[in-house]
Amino acid sequence: MTKATTSSLVGDLISRGLVGEVGMSAGQRLGRPATLVDIDGSSIAAIGVELNVGSMSMVVTDAAGRVLVDRRAAWGRRATTPTGVLAKVVSEIRSTLDALDPHIRQIAGVTVAVPGLVDADRGIVRVAPNFGWRDVPIIEILEKGLGSELHLLLDNEANLGALAEYRRGASTGVDDLVYVLAESGVGGGVVMDGKVFRGSSGYAGEIGHMTIKYDGIVCGCGSRGCWETVVGLAAVLRSAVPDLAEDLIVDGRLSPEEKIAVVTDRLERHDPVALAAMAEIGEWMGLGFANLADIFNPEVIVVAGVPASLAPWTLAIAHESMVTHAVAPNAGGCRLEVSSFGFSAGALGGALLAAERVVDDPLLVAAVS
Ligand SMILES: [Zn+2]
């Protein structure tokens, strides 16, 4: 490109607020000093919404990925039907938009993250077992409430969690990673060669439903002995706090974080039942990680949610179990790491995905006259 073309393109990006001048270059021997530019994007926002049973997380970033809003709203079990839940989501998005800094002049998009099988292209949730949803046209319902000016996207929450880890987490830039999110269910997102791996129908990454105990208990998906039934929240509660487990499992007022806090509280007080349970949970985790290491040969497996909270008591056991069961020497060098984002990585990944639309096509942003 000629200097004139470069100047004209950069000038266009500046007029759209996507890059800004940040000073002059030093140390150049010939010609005029060059103007340095950097990504700006502070006037464009992107929204990620992560749906959980009875609550949602919302993250708003600007187009450069800086977090502007990070919050959570809970409504317990009062709304479980798609229309009931999505009405809450619409009102939360509306109040967030109203409260945004007036400096924000455009919304790049809104991504909704759902735990379950999604048809991202058609905007339909195929199966979300924890919600009891089947074939719900989420994007169509949200458009009715929000209008069609906002660009709405749908994706699986663990795919978006994996994207957040890859773009902003401790494993930023690790091209081959598996993200494991365990809350009520267990989901996974796989980044291979720097891209989220989706499979032929977009359903890849349902690692919580790999059968790991063929004569195990019945899973929420209808199968038996899925990994989720031995390392998910209910399994942890049943083995670590058996006296409280059944009440905690059905309690719709408490979030997964609050439920797992009951376990970590006992662990911190050296409760022998809880500690013994961790040895078994760690072993089951490691067995699943060994399968993942053998199939994907990731550099890192990032754990989020329940296994992140239990990491001090389970991760070393899980690593040993993974290395024992994987065929590759030392499980292919796979490391286990704890997510940097707690329980809302899906919402952050959603905002990053929506912001990417502007990176892919800067013409989506209007120039300021
Ligand atoms: Zn299952």
3-state secondary structure 99-110: HCCCCCCEEEEE
50's tokens: 């992560």
Using the mean position of ligand 1's atoms as its centre, give its distance from the Cα of residue 159 in Å: 18
Q: Give the pLDDT score at 271.
A: 97
- With residues binned 3-state (H G I as helix, E B as strand, rest as coil), the percentages for the chain, rounded to 5, are 40, 25, 35
Using the mean position of ligand 1's atoms as its centre, give its distance from the Cα of residue 208 in Å: 6
* Residues whose CB falls within 8 Å of the CB of residue 320, separated by 6 or more in sequence, listed in order: 286
pLDDT in tens, 53-103: 888 999 999 988 899 999 988 877 666 789 889 999 999 999 999 999 889
Between CA 69 and CA 188 the distance in angstroms is: 25
Between CA 207 and CA 291 the distance in angstroms is: 10
What are the angstrom distances between the C-alpha of 60 and each of 162, 181, 277, 316? 18, 21, 38, 35
| pLDDT < 70: residue spans in the chain | 27-29, 77-79, 343, 369
Q: Are 346 and 48 in contact (CB under 8 A)?
A: yes
Handedness of CA 289, 294, 300, 304 (dihedral sign): negative
Using the mean position of ligand 1's atoms as its centre, give its distance from the Cα of residue 258 in Å: 24
- How would you class 135 by CB atoms within 10 Å of its CB: exposed for 0-12, middle for 13-18, buried for 19 or more? exposed
68's tokens: 């502007």
Q: 70 — phi, psi (to 5°)?
A: -145, 105
Q: Give the pLDDT score at 173.
A: 87
Q: Nearest to residue 257, comparing CAs of 181, 350, 315?
A: 181
Q: Give the pLDDT score at 283.
A: 97
Using the mean position of ligand 1's atoms as its centre, give its distance from the Cα of residue 12 in Å: 51
Between CA 24 and CA 35 the distance in angstroms is: 5
Q: Give the pLDDT score at 32.
A: 74
Using the mean position of ligand 1's atoms as its centre, give its distance from the Cα of residue 307 in Å: 18
Using the mean position of ligand 1's atoms as its centre, give its distance from the Cα of residue 218 in Å: 8
Using the mean position of ligand 1's atoms as its centre, give its distance from the Cα of residue 226 in Å: 5
The DSSP H or E segment spanning 52 is strand 44-52
Using the mean position of ligand 1's atoms as its centre, give its distance from the Cα of residue 235 in Å: 13
Pairing type for strands 124-128 and 133-136 reads antiparallel
- For the packed helices 272-296 and 311-325, what is the interaxial angle rounded to 10 degrees? 40
Q: Give the pLDDT score at 77.
A: 67
- How would you class 339 by CB atoms within 10 Å of its CB: exposed for 0-12, middle for 13-18, buried for 19 or more? buried
Using the mean position of ligand 1's atoms as its centre, give its distance from the Cα of residue 227 in Å: 7
Q: Give the pLDDT score at 28.
A: 64
